[in-house]
Amino acid sequence: MMRIKRHRSRWLASAVAGMLLLSACGGDDDGGEEEESPDPAAAEDADDEAEDDGSEDDDAAAEGGDGPCDPDEVTLIGQVRNQTNPYEAAWLHGGDIFAESVGLEQQHLTYEGDSQQQQEQIRQVLSGTNVECTVLNVLPNGDADTAPIVAGTTDAQAWLVTQWNKPADLNPWDGHDRWVAHITYDGEEAGYMIAQAMIDAMGGSGGIVALQGILDTAAAQERFAGLQRALEENPDVELLDEQTANFDRSEALNVTRTLLTAHGDAVGGIWAANDDMALGAIQALEAADRDDVAVVGIDAVPEAIDLISEGAMTATVSSDGPWQGGIGLAMGYCAATDHIDPPSLDNTNRAFYAQQILIEESNAGDFATPQLDLGEFECDRVFDRVTGPIDQ
C-alpha cells in the first residue's frame, strides 16, 4: 500500500530490497547451474537457457519498462485546455497538492483547446528522457484526440490516465498496459440533475435555452441527452433554442445576449453544460437587468458555488476538479512505482464513472471551501470513488 509523503522512505527501501532480492535469486540460479554442470553439453544448454532468459528480459523491458521506478525519479504532468477555466485551474491545483505530498512537482501543460497543440506537447514529452517513469494525467480535447495520445504513450512506455473524452470502442484493457485508467462521469445523469433543478425552480413550466459544450466530446453529448430526458418528463417546459458556446465563458456571454434578444421574457431558465458558460450567461442576464431566470451548470467551481449560496444561480454538479487533478497522477504514480498493476485490474477500475453530487442553495455551504483527502490517493484507495463501469 502506498503511503503519502511520510512513508516515502519505506516505499523506497521496500522497492530497493525487492530488486536486490530478485537480483540475488537470479544470480544464485544461474551460478548454480553453471557450477554443477561438468558435462560440456549441459554447460552449453545452460548458456542457451541464459540467452533465452536474457531475451525474455529484453521483451519484458520493451513491453513494460525496466521495472519499478524510484519514487524520486517519477515525472508528473497534468494537461488541460487552459487555466482560465476555474474548473481546469482547480484540476491543476489538485495535481500540485498530490505532487507535493509525494515530494515532487507537477508540470503544467495547457493547449488552449487546440488539438494539434495538445498532440505536439505530448510528442515533445515522449521524446524526452525518463519517459518510462513519466506519468501523464490528460484531458483530451475531444474523443478523436484520445487514440493518438494512447498510441504515443503506449509506444513510449509512459504512464497515462485520461479523463472525460474517449471513443466508446477504445479501452485501456485492449493491449494498453500503461494506460492505467480512463475516468469520466455519467454526463446524462449530470445533465438531467441540473435540468430538473432548473425546472423545479421555474415551477415546472416555461421556456428555456441551452448552452452546449464542445460538440465533439462525450461530456457535451451526454449532458445534453440528460436535458432532453428531463424535457420529455416535463412537457410544460419548452426548449426555445440551443447553441454551442464551447464550454467558454466569453462565448456563452455573447450567445446568451443573442438568445435573450431573440426570445426576451419567454426565457425562464438557462441550462449550461458547464459552470463557465453558466457564469457567462449570468453576466448577460445582469447586463439585461434580468434576475428572474434560473441558471444551472456543471463543475462546482468556487464562483458558481458562491452564487448558488447567494441565490443568484440555481444549481451545479460537482465532479471535484481538485480530486481529478490529484487522482490521475496518483494512479499513474502507483503504477510507475509498482504498487498497482494495471493489466491485473478489473475492467471496472480501468474505465469508469466517478462520483458526482448535485449542489443547490441548501448544501452549497458544504462545498464553499473544499478540502482534499490525501488518504484517497493511497494506492489501495485510488478506486474508492468508482460508481460503475462506463456504458459501452
Q: How far is CA 202 from the centre of its chain?
A: 33
CA diameter of the chain: 98
The pLDDT value recorded for residue 86 is 87
**Which amino acid, residue 313?**
M
Cβ neighbours, 10 Å, residue 173: 14
Does position 367 have pLDDT exceeding 50, yes or no?
Answer: yes
Which grid cell sits at 285? 442576464
Name the phi and psi angles at 353, rounded to 5: -85, 140
Mean pLDDT, rounded, for 262-281: 98
Share of the chain above pLDDT 70, in %: 82
Does position 240 have pLDDT exceeding 90, yes or no?
Answer: yes
Question: Residue 291, class by beta-carbon neighbours within 10 Å (0-12 exposed, 13-18 middle, 19+ buried)?
Answer: exposed
Model confidence pLDDT, tens digit, residues 205-237:
999 999 999 998 888 999 999 999 999 999 999
The C-alpha cell 481538485 sits at 322
At 370, the pLDDT band (50, 70, 90 cuts) reads confident
C-alpha dihedral (198, 201, 207, 211), degrees to nearest 10:
-30
The pLDDT value recorded for residue 369 is 79
